[in-house]
Structure 1
Amino acid sequence: MTPAPHSTMRAAVLHGREDLRIENVACPVAGPGEVVLRVEAALTCGTDLKVFRRGYHAKMLTVDRLFGHELAGVIVELGEGVEDFAMGDRVVPLNSAPCDECFYCLAGQQNLCDDLLFNNGAYAEFVRVPARIVSKNMLRVPTAMPMEHAALVEPLACVMRGMEQCAVKAGQTVIVLGAGPIGLLFIHAASLAGLHVIAVVKRTDQVATAKSFGAEQVVRLADVEDPIAAARALTPEGRGADVVFEAVATPEAWQWAVQMVRKGGLVNLFGGPPAGTTASFDTNLLHYSDINIKASFHHTPSTARAAFELLCSGDFEADKFLTGTAELEEVPSVFNAMLTRPAEGIAPEIKTVIYPRTATERLLADEEKAVA
């Protein structure tokens, strides 16, 4: 299906706090250097959930905007001047691209670009990809790779950025605080990189999940009196982890992370708390233990490619992250359900795959492709 000129499509539009609606909107049209994709698969994301809760995102989008940013699709329209891609190509566009001209880009910090161009609209039948993303941050998907797997590139690219900043090395011991989607991506990527992973989790169901993604040991908060001591006890000689990745986004988790790392170790405060959140740290501990603290935001074109290579390697178990499916009309109910965690012991969805086309439409398309 290709969008007809001046036609409409179904898409998720965010109107405010917890106000997400599926509406008829104008189909996108490709301008110079741009492409239009038929969205084959989109994924739910913790960032999208935060935006849904708050009704806005200071950088990614504001109200009355198309919603969603993790997707893969097929090119159905080429704008003038696009030469590196063709009609029918299976691609995954990242949700941003840097200018490569500002101070931060030239300093190798493209994630902090002064003119970082964002794109949204994954939960829709079609999506327009701006020229800058087409030229700098869109990747061709191998025929053998399911589109659902390709859509994982964006969140994994953020995780790869965090690992890159910490210069992790095989054989190191890392602690990952949290076992939500990002925490599990850290656990799995770190495990595949040859690191010894200790996970600190809250829920009973997360113990088995963290282990299935590569955690060698797991601390469940309700099982211990002192999470800091329990996690440190699992590290070599009890000295603390070489690197701690915080993926919870609470002041308490930030404070724990600093106390779980070894002397001379590194803490990555990855989770993004709401604006105005503060945390306090023992300055004596930081100074005399020579602790390094970093925070990671977003991704870069190079970490997007590193993530893509990992997904293509055959080692990354993408299917295990995709625990639910829904059609486009169900997106508002999916996000409303994500606001409430299931009862203790019942594993929540990690990521739900959103299919803009119905199961029947996808089946017919597969049959047509097989005949062709």
Structure 2
Amino acid sequence: MKAAVLHAREDLRVERVPVPTAGPGELVLRVDAALTCGTDLKVFRRGYHAKMLTLNRLFGHELAGTVVEVGEGVTAFALGDRVVPLNSAPCDACFFCRQGQQNLCDDLLFNNGAYAEFIGIPARIVEKNTLKLPAVMPFEHAALTEPLACVMRGLEESQAKAGQTVIVLGAGPIGLLFIHAASLEGLHVIAVVKRSDQVGTAKRFGAQQVLRIGDVADPIAAARALTPEGRGADIVIEAVATPEAWQWAVQMARKGGLINLFGGPPAGTTVQFDTNLLHYSDLTLKASFHHTPSTARAAFDLLCSGRFQCQDFLTGTATLDEVPEVFTRMLVRPAEGIVPEIKTAIFPGRPANELHPAFAAAEKVSA
């Protein structure tokens, strides 16, 4: 089969690799849709990810597809089922899992290989983090489950409640997911963006107010001025991943407010905070990482509800052969005024002459 393989920094190649087979408890899926992701772009740029991916590995982690092989002992899924597998599953036995922090599991099992014709799903992910799609749900919509699950974890950890005011710094894919999910949860959303083209996009996804930093002399004061009585936001979500944005976020919160430092700057990055401000304003700093099985299901339920603007997040399409070109293009932000892609949907397509052996055998029997 064909699959995208990461060889080094900015060296991604579509190659022929062995077709996966299902061991006990496992599934093999035909990949019907996969999505580009900022984390994958970070891995592409750096050539590795300390937890998720090293060199010479299959690439991509947001996908949905059709079951084409069922391993021994699997009873919850059958050939032909339409499913979305998450990209990880916890052990549910270690200290952190027992504390309800499954995203911090000591043995968190990751799975990659979304940019391929087929993908194998490990038994633990089959058991804990694979969900069946409604018949009418497009595969590319279901593939939004993983990034939205991380956002739902962020909102959960921020103790977000309807009626609160939240400032979201950043209007990239994750920032827009936060804006949209928070607005659907009934929060008043203020978006702080950099580019003029992001103003309309943020409003389309539910931001009631949008501040473009280039339009004001003091973004912190301007953002606070948009909050009730100018006191600052109940919650500030940082989704830019720069030290400056982390520092701004702390100064945009009200007394007693919560700041979720969601964006992850490069390793070794440091920031400085005003200790007086933190102490006397009684601020809470959080940093949310990844997702849990419960937030995966919360995300999936929201996507299935019909309330989520799935299609608006999918602003481009590509074939499997075009994946390296897509990521090379993603390295360069388009010029001001040109609306950038949010997510590109990759459609590998059913191989014309290469059915998975187990699925081909089943089709032959049914015929």
Shared fold per TM-score greater than 0.5: yes
Q: Which amino acid aligns with 2:163?
A: G
Among 331, 342, 357, the residue aligned to 2:334: 342
Tell me the CA shift for residue 360 of structure 1.
9.1
Q: Does 1:355 align with 2:347?
A: yes
Q: Which amino acid aligns with 1:344?
A: E
Runs of 4 or more off by more than 2 Å in structure 1? 358-361
Tell me the CA shift for residue 231 of structure 1.
0.3
Between the two proteins, the alignment pairs up a number of residues equal to: 355
| Partner of residue 296, structure 1 | 288
1:67-91 deviation line (CA, Å, top 9, x unaligned):
0000000000000000011110000
| Partner of residue 314, structure 2 | 322
1:319-358 deviation line (CA, Å, top 9, x unaligned):
0000000000000000000000111011100000001117
Tell me the CA shift for residue 359 of structure 1.
11
1:24-51 deviation line (CA, Å, top 9, x unaligned):
0000010000000000000000000000
| Partner of residue 368, structure 1 | none
| Partner of residue 305, structure 2 | 313
| Partner of residue 65, structure 1 | 57
For residues 331 and 207 of structure 1, the distance between their equivalents in structure 2, rounded to whole angstroms, comes to 29
**Contact conserved, 2:31 with 2:114, CA < 8 A, in 1?**
yes
| Partner of residue 249, structure 1 | 241
Among 200, 203, 206, the residue aligned to 1:208: 200
Q: Does 1:118 align with 2:114?
A: no
| Partner of residue 232, structure 1 | 224
* 3-state SS in 2 of match to 1:27: coil
For residues 236 and 340 of structure 1, the distance between their equivalents in structure 2, rounded to whole angstroms, comes to 37
For residues 359 and 245 of structure 1, the distance between their equivalents in structure 2, rounded to whole angstroms, comes to 42
Among 271, 291, 303, the residue aligned to 1:279: 271
**Contact conserved, 2:117 with 2:348, CA < 8 A, in 1?**
yes
For residues 61 and 198 of structure 1, the distance between their equivalents in structure 2, rounded to whole angstroms, comes to 35
1:1-12 alignment runs, 5 A limit:
9-12=1-4
**Contact conserved, 2:117 with 2:350, CA < 8 A, in 1?**
no
| Partner of residue 184, structure 2 | 192
- Stretches of structure 2 lacking an aligned partner (at least 5 in a row): 354-366
For residues 314 and 254 of structure 2, the distance between their equivalents in structure 1, rounded to whole angstroms, comes to 34
For residues 270 and 286 of structure 2, the distance between their equivalents in structure 1, rounded to whole angstroms, comes to 16
**What is the TM-score normalised by the length of structure 1?**
0.94
**Contact conserved, 1:327 with 1:358, CA < 8 A, in 2?**
no
| Partner of residue 40, structure 1 | 32
* 3-state SS in 2 of match to 1:186: helix
**Contact conserved, 2:191 with 2:211, CA < 8 A, in 1?**
yes
Q: Does 1:179 align with 2:193?
A: no
Identity of aligned residues (%): 79
Q: Which amino acid aligns with 1:326?
A: A
Q: Which amino acid aligns with 1:24?
A: R
For residues 174 and 153 of structure 2, the distance between their equivalents in structure 1, rounded to whole angstroms, comes to 12
Q: Does 1:30 align with 2:36?
A: no
For residues 120 and 360 of structure 1, the distance between their equivalents in structure 2, rounded to whole angstroms, comes to 24
Among 80, 85, 103, the residue aligned to 1:93: 85
For residues 177 and 141 of structure 1, the distance between their equivalents in structure 2, rounded to whole angstroms, comes to 32
1:195-235 deviation line (CA, Å, top 9, x unaligned):
00000000010000000000000010110000000000000
Q: Which amino acid aligns with 1:53?
A: R
- Stretches of structure 1 lacking an aligned partner (at least 5 in a row): 1-8, 362-371
Tell me the CA shift for residue 261 of structure 1.
0.3
CA-atom RMSD, angstroms?
Answer: 1.3
| Partner of residue 253, structure 2 | 261
Q: Which amino acid aligns with 2:169?
A: L
Tell me the CA shift for residue 167 of structure 1.
1.1
Among 65, 71, 75, the residue aligned to 1:83: 75
**What is the TM-score normalised by the length of structure 2?**
0.95
Would the alpha carbon gap of residues 359 and 244 (structure 1) be closer, same or farther in structure 2, given more than 3 Å must change? farther
Tell me the CA shift for residue 166 of structure 1.
1.0
* 3-state SS in 1 of match to 2:349: coil
Tell me the CA shift for residue 172 of structure 1.
0.3
**Contact conserved, 1:41 with 1:353, CA < 8 A, in 2?**
yes
Would the alpha carbon gap of residues 243 and 359 (structure 1) be closer, same or farther in structure 2, given more than 3 Å must change? farther
Would the alpha carbon gap of residues 358 and 91 (structure 1) be closer, same or farther in structure 2, given more than 3 Å must change? closer
Q: Which amino acid aligns with 1:335?
A: F
For residues 105 and 189 of structure 2, the distance between their equivalents in structure 1, rounded to whole angstroms, comes to 32
